[in-house]
Amino acid sequence: MTNHVTRAGGTSDSRLTQPAYDIDPDDIPDIVIRRLPIYVRTLKGLVESGSRSVSSEELASLIGVTAAQIRRDLSYFGKFGKQGKGYDIEHLSGAIEQILKLDRQWPMVLLGMGRLGHAIASYRGFSRSSFTIAGLFDADPAKVGEKVNDLVIRPMSEVADAMREEGIRVGIIATPRVQAQEAADLLVKGGAEAILNYAPVILRVPEHVTVREIDPVSALQSMTYYIDRD
Amino acid sequence: MTNHVTRAGGTSDSRLTQPAYDIDPDDIPDIVIRRLPIYVRTLKGLVESGSRSVSSEELASLIGVTAAQIRRDLSYFGKFGKQGKGYDIEHLSGAIEQILKLDRQWPMVLLGMGRLGHAIASYRGFSRSSFTIAGLFDADPAKVGEKVNDLVIRPMSEVADAMREEGIRVGIIATPRVQAQEAADLLVKGGAEAILNYAPVILRVPEHVTVREIDPVSALQSMTYYIDRD
DNA sequence: TAGATTGTTAATCGATTAACAATC
DNA sequence: TAGATTGTTAATCGATTAACAATC
């Protein structure tokens, strides 16, 4: 789930909102990291609505968590608020984006260009959110060469080389289930450190690679448990 | 997250693998419920591969969890294995499917027929997994009447009535962000007890309604935190 | 029977919450 | 200044793991 990064030498600028000592990503619970995107999203919504600052209490009620949790989560990374005032929305939003490394655009490769792959390739939500699909790949020679949104589908065998050449370290798997592990292996070979997996399989990857599953079927299958009458 | 079901009167058939006393769904951690679909999926894979029984140890290594966790999870629901032997794969799989109420087909309504909605409507994975899309709805009159896979898109205003008439209690939201809460309200009005939400918003729903989020952007945004070099 | 593996309890680990001193 | 709200610590809650008696 996590890797073993240690950030290099702390700076001595005491005005930084980041704590002066180094943060080891391994010291911060992954569950906290997974909440940060929701904080950013909600803060950006507040910016749109014209607000300038929020208290942890207000933010918490918007998100549906406790104020204590928000304050504790943020305290892992530094001090971002003002007692009596709350948080400056733009500042906090920017700070979390920096923590998550969302202050840049991440190119991604997409593996598997069936129905699902096509839908993902055409999805507009990624680019607004620091991500760009930069390469499409499929194992089926019949699909290779097809053009999808200005990108040409390339042969699966070229993934690893393409990733290294283009400095891509994020991959999306949208292959059929049985080819997903193979796809993951290729991504790892290409130097992937983050994999978004739409295939219904648990992938085996080295410890330094993070994987997140997108699994609507499992989500549905767990909800029916709670449904009352038949 | 959970509701307040109590199953009616326990049976006296002592051969049942289900415990004779009643299980209150609220007594079982949601995190356990969310793992059950993965157990089923993995067991079905084992059936395909021709195996007849598995130990908790083997199953655990396939899934990437501990054997203790699997045994403890299952113990919430009854006794499914044989000491010295392990679990009969078909039997365990069937038992968990019954617990999750996957021993039937669940009709669903899909709200929002933009790009994403179309992709979801065309997805084949649901029907193999106890779910059927039975109704398509959109707020845009221009889309109403359009035929997608044998289903005609109906006006959003008809959702609640359609759900009640057809006895549908599962809904999928694929509307734009700003219309998602409105869509959720309509689903609740129609008697929904389970909502799969693809829109990037936290939905407000009554306590007896379960919601699960499908949020690939947040998943990506939390993974970049762990990426090493820039 | 001996060996293997379950089901379950108690110990451990980790995350959430409550409380409050610090401080804007 | 008084009031509000943060940042942080300690207490609580909940989930995971280890260990092992029960038993196939």
Residue A217 at interface with chain B, using a CB cutoff of 8 Å: yes
Q: Do A225 and B33 touch (CB under 8 A)?
A: yes
B11 contacts: CB under 8 Å, gap ≥ 6: B20
In tens, the pLDDT along A21-54 reads 456 777 899 999 999 999 999 999 999 999 999 9
How many contacts does A have with B, using Cβ atoms within 8 A? Answer: 187
Q: Do A226 and B63 touch (CB under 8 A)?
A: no
Name beta bridge partners: A153. A136
Q: What's the confidence (pLDDT) of residue A24?
A: 72
- Which amino acid type is present at position A82? K
Nucleotide nearest to A19 (CA to C1'): D7
DSSP code string of B141-162: TTTTT-EETTEEEEEGGGHHHH
As given in the structure block, the two tokens for residue A149 are: 């949104």
Q: What's the confidence (pLDDT) of residue B23?
A: 63
Average pLDDT, chain A: 90
Of residues A56, A86, A88, A87, the one with CA closest to residue A71? A56
Contact B110, B117 (CB under 8 A): yes
Quick one: closest CA in B to A118, which residue?
A: B119
Model confidence at B182, in pLDDT bands (50, 70, 90)? very high
Residue B57: how many CB atoms within 10 A of its CB? 14
Residue in B3, B108, B126 nearest the CB of A226: B3
Contact A136, A78 (CB under 8 A): no
pLDDT at B1 over 80: no
Cα distances (angstroms) measured from residue B17 to each of A41, B46, B95: 46, 21, 8
Residue in A37, A217, A227 nearest the CB of B222: A37
Distance CA A208, CA A205 (A): 8
Q: Do A41 and B208 touch (CB under 8 A)?
A: no
Of residues A54, A60, A55, the one with CA closest to residue A38? A60
For residue B211, which phi and psi values (nearest 5 degrees)? -125, 135
Distance CA A196, CA A171 (A): 6
Chain A interface, best mutation among B128, B202, B222, by max A CB count within 10 A: B222
Residue B212 at interface with chain A, using a CB cutoff of 8 Å: yes
In tens, the pLDDT along A131-159 reads 999 999 999 999 999 999 999 999 999 99
Residue A10: how many CB atoms within 10 A of its CB? 13
At residue B96, the 3 state secondary structure works out as: helix
| Least Cα separation, residue B58 to chain A (angstroms) | 14
Q: What's the confidence (pLDDT) of residue A154?
A: 98
Q: Which tops the pLDDT comparison, B71 or B13?
A: B71
In tens, the pLDDT along A209-230 reads 999 999 999 999 999 999 986 5
Of residues B135, B79, B229, B3, the one with CA closest to residue A101? B229
Q: Do the bridges between strand A210-213 and strand A194-197 make them parallel or antiparallel, or are there none, so unpaired?
A: parallel
B83 contacts: CB under 8 Å, gap ≥ 6: none
Model confidence at B230, in pLDDT bands (50, 70, 90)? low
Mean pLDDT of A56-79: 98
Contact B32, B43 (CB under 8 A): no
In tens, the pLDDT along B53-105 reads 999 999 999 999 999 999 999 999 999 999 999 999 999 999 999 999 999 99
Asked if residue A82 keeps its beta carbon closer than 7 A to nucleic acid strand D, the reply is yes
Q: What's the confidence (pLDDT) of residue A10?
A: 29
Contact B130, A224 (CB under 8 A): yes
| Least Cα separation, residue B172 to chain A (angstroms) | 10
Distance CA A111, CA A159 (A): 8
pLDDT at B4 over 50: no
Asked if residue B26 keeps its beta carbon closer than 7 A to nucleic acid strand D, the reply is no
DSSP code string of A101-157: T-SSPEEEEEE--SHHHHHHHH-STTGGGTEEEEEEEES-TTTTT-EETTEEEEEGG
Residue in A216, A219, A228 nearest the CB of B3: A228
Q: Do the bridges between strand A86-88 and strand A53-54 make them parallel or antiparallel, or are there none, so unpaired?
A: antiparallel
